[in-house]
Structure 1
Amino acid sequence: MTTSSTLEPDWSTPQWRDDALAWVGDALAGPGLRVTGPVEPRVRPWSLVWRVPTDAGPVWFKANNRGTRHEAGLLAALARLTPGAVLRPVAVDDDRGWSLLPDGGPSLRDVLAGKKDLTYWERVLPEYAAVQVALAPYAAELLDLGVPDHRTEVMPGRLAELLEDRESMLVGAANGPTPEAYDRLRAYRPEFAEVCRRLAEVEVPATIQHDDLHDGNIFVADDGYRFFDWGDASIAHPFGTLLVTLRSVAYAFELEPGDPALVRLRDAYLEAWTDRYDRATLRAAADLAMTVAKVSRALSWQRALLTSDPARAEYAEAVPGWLGELFTSNPV
């Protein structure tokens, strides 16, 4: 990466906007497209997204902040390594964290609006698991692209480092953990290390872990599903995916933790690894991995909020908030 990859973009300046629009225009010229109207922006502390109208329908431009900049290069790698599982980018600039994607059509959330049909998820999860299995041999390559390292063996150290980052932890802030809660998290470190040790004993290879796989981040196509919004992704234990996914399903379908429907979805996902492990071992590993993923989620938020944007304050509680989830039960 060049030095520019470490600088925080100023999305509000006319110069940045002009540069980005010129890049989009050049990228569209290749396939013979042109911009036909003003862009429609959506800005978050971690990214800016434009809906760009063209003479062949909308395309989507995304610029990531420094904490999530790896997403652009990851998108290109995923399109190369697992074609059909993601949208093929029109263009990427991995140094600047820019990507341009075609329109993906309806999301799973759109399709499920007003429905209580879990069969979609019963098909989605095995497809996503297949992507993870296919990408495991490329974990080192993806790490070299800058995808964050959340492998099981490094996570005890990552938790310790995060707890020492008093700004991210909001120590002493009104919306931060109480002194008692903070001390409880620090005291939990040996137990967390033991969780990681037990998880590592089940030698499931580390691979891509989306870390925010819910119905809003999946496109539904006639020939399957496309997974998008990889800014929170890391190289980690694959089963950690289940934390956000099952929690989101439970919320959308009004299911209590441990509901048989959630158990069925977990088992459908784990089926991809039953050629090497018995189901009881996989279920136990899934529970451990979901616990580890709570630290992964906190780290993802810490990276996403590496910005001076004042709007980051609205989301800052997510970092200690996810660590507080270490003392709550998993969805199954």
Structure 2
Amino acid sequence: MSETTGIRTWRDADWRTAALAWAVEQLDRAGLVLEGEPEQPHVRSWSTAIRLPLRSGDAVWLKSVGPGSAQEPVLAEALGRWVPGHVLVPLAVEPSRRLLLLPDGGRTLRGTGSGELAAWEAMLVDHARLQVAVAPHADELVRRGVPDHRPERLPGLVADLLADDEMQLVGRSDGLSRAGRERVVADLGAYARACRELANGGVPASVQHDDLHDANVFVADGRHRFFDWGDASVSHPFLVLLVTLRFAARVLELPNGDPALVRLRDAYLDQWLDFGTTSELRELCGLALRVGPLQRALTWRRILRGVHPEERVEWAGSVPGWTAEHLAPSTLSAEP
């Protein structure tokens, strides 16, 4: 990945002028008129979002992502066609320039109140239904450039990840220790077996958001619309629970293994009963949570490789951090 972008890219006057010109052209095609000054409240090393006020009083958003999230415009457009009721449907996308023009989605789950277990449960049920519906399109998504993190590919990808001294910060105080890497390497045989069991478990690959939490889903009238696909891949769908259950535990102040977290897991898994028994699905979920941290490290490496090197510093610990998480207990480790 040779191209890099970052905060100085998104704040560059020439970049903004060109991106806004594209957005205005798309608004014209949709019969919408920009009125007022664009605002740029979201600027991160890997993406930016610009709010565009309209004459109607509404607003739309122009989003751009870095090379590490190049799949997002393609994926968002495809999901908008396949499962429009479950996602924020783009008004326009420009994959070659990694641009999306998006409607205003309203309030997120975090904004409406994510302090109740039932809110997380309803969100996870809807997300599982989205994944079930998208599963038949997994091969097409890979052909369109969505990263392929299906379980059968993970052992090879992880071997390359562990050999990447630069991104693992090996030998540095804030990086992966050599002893830690040796422990992960020593476990790769068991990791590969877990991946094979996941691949052969009967649950099809699907879109895997990889950063699903209460700020990445809009809620209105009991309807959930998912967005922000910059971390997404095609993988075993159950891997999505790695991040989601951790966020739920943090927001709801639940310890590992709390029955409430098990309830969230089971509500999600119940949507997959066409592909296995409850017992089989729970076993596969355990494998997914074990496989997940190294897959998450792969995602962070991809994102950071697309960021200006000087802007990686703040987030550099994410790759070795998730790699080391492979040796830590899962959120459901104390499950009865």
TM class, shorter-length = over 0.9
Q: Which amino acid aligns with 1:331?
A: T
**How many Å apart are 1:11 and its aligned residue?**
2.9
C-alpha contact (below 8 Å) 2:202/2:275 kept by paired residues: no
**C-alpha distance in structure 2 between counterparts of 1:276 and 1:86, whole Å:** 24
8 Å Cα contact 1:45/1:309 also seen in 2: no
TM-aligned CA deviation for residue 43 of structure 1: 1.6
Please say which of residues 234-243 and 176-185 is displaced more in the overlay.
Answer: 176-185
Q: Judging changes above 3 Å, is the alpha-carbon distance between structure 1 residues 255 and 68 closer, same or farther for their aligned structure 2 residues?
A: same
Distance in 2 (CA, whole Å) between partners of 1:76 and 1:145 is 11
Alpha-carbon offset, residue 59 of structure 1: 1.2
Corresponding letter in the other structure for 1:252: V
Rounded to whole Å, the distance in 1 between the matches of 2:273 and 2:290 is: 21
1:48-197 matches, within 5 Å, as 48-56=48-56, 57-112=58-113, 116-197=115-196
Could you tell me how far apart the structure 2 residues matched to 1:102 and 1:259 are?
Answer: 38
Cα gap change, 1:150/1:107 in structure 2, threshold over 3 Å: closer, same or farther? same
The percent of aligned pairs where both chains have the same amino acid is 46
Deviation at 1:256?
A: 0.6
CA apart distance, 1:45? 1.4
Check conservation: 2:184, 2:327, Cα contact below 8 A. no
Contact kept in structure 2, 1:209 and 1:233, CA below 8 Å: yes
Whole-Å separation in 2 of the counterparts to 1:324 and 1:119: 32
Residue 29 of structure 2 is aligned to residue 45 of structure 1 = no
TM-score (norm 1): 0.94
Structure 2 Cα separation of the partners of residues 193 and 100 of structure 1:
40
**Equivalent-residue separation in structure 2 for 1:199 and 1:141 (angstroms):** 21
> C-alpha displacement at 1:313, in angstroms?
0.9
- Equivalence for 1:312: 312
Once the two structures are TM-superposed, the CA of residue 6 in structure 1 deviates from its matched residue by 6.6
Equivalent-residue separation in structure 2 for 1:62 and 1:106 (angstroms): 17
- The letter of the residue matching 1:289 is A
Q: Could you tell me whether the CA contact under 8 Å between 2:202 and 2:276 is conserved in 1?
A: no
Contact in 1 for aligned 2:71/2:230 (Cα 8 Å): yes
Deviates more, 1:275-284 or 1:142-151: 275-284
Encode CA deviations 1:112-147: one digit per residue, 9 max, x unaligned. 16xx32111221111111111111110011111111
**8 A contact 2:231–2:299 mirrored in 1:** yes
Q: Tell me the distance in 1 between the aligned counterparts of 2:279 and 2:91.
A: 43
Letter in 1 for 2:68: G
1:130-279 correspondence runs (5 A) = 130-222=129-221, 224-279=223-278
Q: Following TM superposition, by how much is the alpha carbon of 1:39 offset from its aligned partner in structure 2, in angstroms?
A: 2.3
1:326 aligns with 2:332: no
- Shift of residue 203 of structure 1? 1.8
Secondary structure of 2:167's aligned partner? coil
Scaled by the length of structure 2, the TM-score of the pair is: 0.93
Indicate the structure whose relative CO is greater, using CA pairs within 8 Å and at least 6 residues apart: 2
Q: Which amino acid aligns with 2:158?
A: L
Displacement, 1:14? Answer: 2.2
How far apart are 1:230 and its partner, in Å? 0.6
Q: Does 1:28 align with 2:27?
A: yes
* Local SS of the residue matching 2:126: helix
Contact 1:135 1:207 in 2 (8 A): yes
State the AA in 2 paired with 1:122: E
The whole-number CA distance in structure 2 between the counterparts of 1:172 and 1:40 is 42
> Secondary structure, in 3 states, of the residue corresponding to 1:275?
helix
Q: Distance in 1 between matches of 2:117 and 2:242?
A: 17
Q: Tell me which moved more, 218-227 or 177-186.
A: 177-186
